[in-house]
Amino acid sequence: MNLKEVLKMADEMVFAKTGQHLDNLQEAILRGTMQGEKYTKIAEEIHCNESYVRQVGSQLWQILSEELGEDVSKTNFRASMERFQVSIVSHWEQHHNQIGSFNICGETLHSPDIPNSHPPNQETSNTKQPQTSHQDLSEMPELGDFYDRTSELQTLTTWILQQNSRLLALTGRLGIGKTTLAVKLVQQIKDEFEYVIWCSIDASHTLDEFQHKLIQFFSHSEKQDLSPTNPKRLPLIKYLQKYRCLVVLDDVHNLFCSGDSAGKYKPECEEYRSLFKQIEKLSHQSCFLLIGWEQPREVTQFKNPNTPIRTLQLKGLDIAAGREILRDYGLEEIDNSEALIHRYEGNPLWLKSVANLIQELGIDATELLIDDTILLPEDLKDVLQQQYDRTSEVEKQVMSLLAKENQPVHLAKLLEKGQISSSDLLNALQSLSRRCSIEKEGSLYTLSPVLKEYIKGF
């Protein structure tokens, strides 16, 4: 349904109930709601007091709720109207040979039960969805301490709720805090969606199984027979179009090959490519948030703000948040905590690992930090190995070249070394950047001190 159709239908409902057509403010509220805007934004656009806009909005939802026979709110308005349209069309299909008429979006539909161009509530109530938002967050981890990340939360919220981005990639090194950030985000915005599901991607699930799981979740409330032979079983995209859904896919790196460049699908996971393509290209009102230290290439390569795709590469925590983490290990008193946080790049998992070692051994952290010592506790090595093992042979060679250098290395110098062909070298640099394994500034490349230390250990 487009905006014009929705406004026309809402106007008919309000007129049927109050004898008055939508006024400018009511229309602005509906228009803003359809565009995913908050009341604050709507109020700004029409230069009106926000609390007054909220009050008029709330009266409007009340009128529409009574007309539709279900609780309509700013969050579910669009979906309610769409469900109503679907129900009225199917109703008409069942009774098309009888008299009576109802005008929907320019089409005159006939029904004996719909006099005065106005549907009685009972007519639609038997096809209604439950009003509560449906959430399956059983695979979502619990949120522990949470520091910093205000701007990242703001960015993601804007992309999802205001810009209606359909496909979001949250990327960054293992342990940087992607999952934690996403949990916080979901807690904050979940009520803006009719369906919210968190899935951890397990490579052993075929796309078919994964889609089946989602469809089962979406259609649960519709009490449908889900057997593959049931002709009424809708394809996944239909649910994403019909409802406003938030689907979080964590650990998407499990879809990609080890030992190859970043984001290459495993043969058995190739089909996910077309799912992500559909989510990007087809019109719908839902959002997929992909979390992982590798992302599909077709997602990360998009930098165009006109596409419904966005990528956020997560960096480390700030100094204050890093100190909070050290405080949890009784290390708040050390003089050069800032140097320690910098050395471990604000990566909360790295910081926790090293703080734990310092605490357990009772080492004097201040003395330890006088020179550039980098401690690599065994659990941190395991974490680094997981990512290192996934890189290709050429990427490993490039990292080893960078590990020997104390300063950032110019691309020209890497090419000069002549050990790797220029095309392989450039591909490897691109892949390593996508994995966040190297830092790039202009044509200068660096490896983080922690990774250098790890690679030197071979």
Ligand X SMILES: Nc1ncnc2c1ncn2[C@@H]1O[C@H](COP(=O)(O)OP(=O)(O)O)[C@@H](O)[C@H]1O
Helix (H) or strand (E) holding 138: none
Cβ(289)–Cβ(248) under 8 Å? yes
CA-to-CA separations, 291 to 119, 170, 385, in angstroms, rounded: 44, 5, 20
**Binder of residue 176, out of Mg ion, ligand X, none (CB less than 5 to 8 A by kind):** ligand X
Look at the block and give the residue holding tokens 């890497």: 414
323 binds ligand X (CB under 6 A): no
Q: State the Cα–Cα distance between residues 409 and 429, nearest whole angstrom.
A: 12
Write the single-letter amino acid at 337: S
> Hey, what are 391's tokens?
């890189």
CB atoms under 10 Å from CB of 92, counted, come to 20
264 binds, options Mg ion, ligand X, none, Cβ within 5 to 8 A by partner type: none
Select the residue interacting with Mg ion from 33, 124, 171, 179 (CB under 5 A). 179
Residue type, 186: V
Q: How many CA atoms lie within 13 A of 316 on its CB side?
A: 22
Contacted by 311, from Mg ion, ligand X, none: CB < 5 to 8 Å by type? none
Residue 179 or residue 295: which is nearer to Mg ion going by CB? 179
Nearest residue by C-beta to Mg ion? 179
Site string for ligand X, 343-382 (x = CB under 6 A): -----xx--x------------------------------
Q: Which residue is nearest to ligand X (CB)?
A: 177
Of 31-39, 84-92, 174-182, 296-304, the window that binds Mg ion (rule: CB under 5 A) is 174-182
Taking the complex as a whole, how short is the minimal distance between the CB of residue 179 and Mg ion, in angstroms? 3
Cβ(217)–Cβ(246) under 8 Å? no
Q: What sign does the CA torsion over 162, 105, 89, 71 have?
A: positive
Minimum CB–partner distance for residue 380 and ligand X (Å)? 12
- Does residue number 149 form part of the binding site for ligand X (CB under 6 A)? yes
Q: Which is nearer to Mg ion, 15 or 147 (CB)?
A: 147
Terminus-to-terminus CA distance in the chain, angstroms? 60
Closest separation in Å from C-beta 342 to Mg ion: 23
146 scored as a contact of ligand X (CB under 6 A): yes
CA pseudo-torsion sign 347, 353, 356, 361: negative
Task: Point out which span in 56-64, 145-153, 371-379, 431-439 binds ligand X (CB under 6 A).
Answer: 145-153
Interaction pattern, residues 165-194, with ligand X; x per rule: CB under 6 A: -------x-xxxxxxx--------------
In the bound state with Mg ion, the residue whose beta carbon lies nearer, of 180 and 285, is 180
User: Which CB sits closer to Mg ion, 173 or 452?
Assistant: 173
Angle between helices 24-34 and 77-95 (to 10 degrees): 90
Interacting span for ligand X (CB under 6 A) from 36-44, 140-148, 202-210, 217-225? 140-148
Two structure tokens written together for 286: 């839902």
User: Segment near Mg ion (CB under 5 A), from 28-36, 113-121, 141-149, 171-179?
Assistant: 171-179
38: which 2 tokens? 């908050």
Out of ligand X, Mg ion, none, what residue 42 binds, judged by CB under 5 to 8 A for its kind, is none
How big is the CA angle at 451 (ends 450 and 452), to the nearest 5 degrees? Answer: 90
Fill in the DSSP letter of residue 222: G
Residues in contact with Mg ion by CB under 5 A are 179
Residues in contact with ligand X by CB under 6 A are 144-149, 172, 174-180, 317, 321, 348-349, 352
